[in-house]
Each structure stands twice: as structure tokens, then as C-alpha cells.
Structure 1
């Protein structure tokens, strides 16, 4: 398979959890952020975009501009640190505690076997889980530039769906064993459900 990088977005405000440091919340005894990073342990480089916190060795941390500027600004900050020749990148939310290496491999295979710009999971209702996907770096960079041009040079506060509008996306349904890798934790109840799945 094609070599890949990983950009993990960890700068959300976690309003539905009272503003806690959501990526640092443990699930199955490990912070959610660390679980996501473990799922992409073979990526090079691995980048976290968001407030600095403890990360495993070899993981680089950067911030979006402006800080708190949202997932598109964070995506742009992560892409800016990738070498020009990096072919693909896993673009992931930091609150995916059930993501596994096998699930990432499925996404990479889906993209490698297609002419699409990216591959992402879809949930049981058919909704794209766009921050649980693998994307062609050139296509993402072009999308950031296009969106910035549409917004007078800034992607601050832009929604991810606007960034990815117009890109060819290969939708992947989870068919493996175990819980859905796209499950994200937005509430305390979500964290409890994830804990149950990891037991």
C-alpha cells in the first residue's frame, strides 16, 4: 500500500462535555488521543493539531491558526507540515477511541484501489464520517486553497463539509468484527458506550 501520514485534530471545545480536554479522557485505560495515534502507529509523520499535551514519542504537535479556528484550519495546519511528496494522509478526529489499525488499513486499501480523492467510513445511517478517513494530500491541499479563496483568504470557522465538497469520496462501510471504528465521543454517554465496547 501507499505510504501515508496521519493528522489528528484535537482542538475541539467539547462543549457537550463541559469544556474538558476531551482527547485526554481515558477509554479502556488510555486517553482517546493515544488510542487514535496507536491506530496509525505506522504512519510517518504523525501530527496532532491542537493544544499541546503529552503525546507518544515521535509525534509532532502544532496549532491551527487562529487557535480554536476549527477543523478546517487545523487540517490546513497539519497539511502545511507534510513533505511535498506525501501521497496520502489519514485525517482523524481525536475522539475515535474504537479506531483500530485494521480499520485504517481498510480505508487505505479502499483509496489505493480507486481513483477517488479520499475514502471515509459511513455510519449505519449512511452519513459520511469525514474525520475518519484517508485522503490524497494533493486533493486536500487544493480543497483548502479553493475554500480559502472563497472566504477571502481565511478558513477560520469553516465546516469540514465545505472543505470536502466537490471531492470524489469512496464510502466505506465497516464490515469487520468489533465496534464501529468511526464511533466518536461527543457526550459522557458516548464515553460510557465506548468503555463498554472496550471491555
Structure 2
């Protein structure tokens, strides 16, 4: 658990433009008869104090999920770091007793059910400032545990340095990396293309067997 013994706020990052799928909201594409976002919520919600959704544009399109929709707090700063900053700002303003958030991508339907616990354990064991997930020899920096107290440092990096890559920012801090096996299914599989959706359908069927 986090040092203050409170569960983190979970933020689902859904700000991508889905260009490789022809546009639209990737998390709203269906896998196994349900939107990908539904799978993400089911897996992440039990691990967090509450969930929020980072997305820009009309929030009404996500109304069926009953989530607080939080838009980017900076203009013209596309990318996951802007979404993470928006979630840090929202948490500081609305849940001042919460010291951490956990971020996930909105197009990852197979997230591990021990994601938060393992990230927290590694961060505490290594006395790290941040923690991110990995699988199959690859780091997934968009899926991580972030300290609310670092939000102004992140804002300065976004505005003053035009920083866009998460791993450039995390390199400044003590970082714990937690690896998951990628068999039988990579828990951080993300659906970027139409072909990925077909693969995700097959993987969902395998998991259901």
C-alpha cells in the first residue's frame, strides 16, 4: 500500500486520436461484446479509491460509464503526460488527502488485477519516487504510479521544456519498474489498429476458456 495507507485515484487515459483506426475513441471499440473501456474499468476499479477518465471534447459520450471526465489542464500539450498532469491537478484539488494516482491506457483490456499492489510494493521497497509497469522486456511508462506532490515539476517540464515523452520525465526520479509475464496474454496489450482488435477478440476468448 502507499505510505499514507490510502488507495490511489485511478486515471484512465483516453485522449488518443486513434488515427490508425480511422479516428474516434479507441476505448469505445468493442471486444467480447463490450467497449474496451468497460474491461479497463472492471479490472482497475477494485484497485483504486475511485476512477476518473482523462478525455478531451464532449464528456457526454462517456456518460454511460458514470466516471468523472477530466480534460487536459494545459492547451496544445497532447500526449499522456498532459493527461497525467490533469489527473494530478484534479486529485490535488478534489481529493487533498490522496498522495498518489495510478494511470493506465484506455485501450488495455487485460490489465493485471494486482497492478496497484505490485507497483506500490516495488516503490516502497526501492524507496522510489515513481513506479511503472513492464512486460516482455518492454517498459510501459503510461502505466504507472505518480506522486501528486510532483505535479508542479511536471507542469514546469511540459510548459518550459515542451516535454512530451514520459520516460524523459521519469528519468529525473528514482524509478521502480515492475515486470509482469506476457504469457498466456500480455496484460498490457493495447489495441492500436483494426488488426489489434481482432487479436484482442481472440485473446479475450482464450482468457474466458
TM-score between the two structures when normalised by the length of structure 1: 0.84
Q: Which runs of 5+ in 2 are unaligned?
A: none
Q: How many residues align?
A: 192
Show CA shifts across 1:91-117 (max 9, x none): 111111111323343223322333112
> Where do residues 148-159 of structure 1 align in structure 2 (5 Å cutoff)?
148=158, 150-151=160-161, 158-159=164-165
Aligned to 2:79: 70
Alignment of 1:160 with 2:166, yes or no, is yes
> Where do residues 1-199 of structure 1 align in structure 2 (5 Å cutoff)?
1-2=1-2, 3-42=7-46, 43-51=48-56, 52=59, 53-57=62-66, 59-64=67-72, 65-66=74-75, 69-82=78-91, 83-124=95-136, 126-139=137-150, 141-148=151-158, 150-151=160-161, 158-175=164-181, 178-199=184-205
Q: Which runs of 5+ in 1 are unaligned?
A: none
How many angstroms does 1:55 deviate by?
4.5
Partners in 2 of 1:144 and 1:55 — Cα distance?
A: 32
Show CA shifts across 1:142-164 (max 9, x none): 4413403533xxx5x72323332
Show CA shifts across 1:161-194 (max 9, x none): 3332312221111148641211111111222222
Show CA shifts across 1:6-62 (max 9, x none): 1111011111111132110112222112222222213123110104223433x2102
How many angstroms does 1:67 deviate by?
6.9
- More moved, 61-70 vs 10-19: 61-70
Structure (1 or 2) with the greater helix fraction: 2
- RMSD between superposed Cα atoms in Å: 2.3
The 1:176–1:182 alpha-carbon spacing in structure 2 relative to 1, beyond 3 Å, is closer
Runs of 4+ in 1 over 4 A off after TM superposition: none
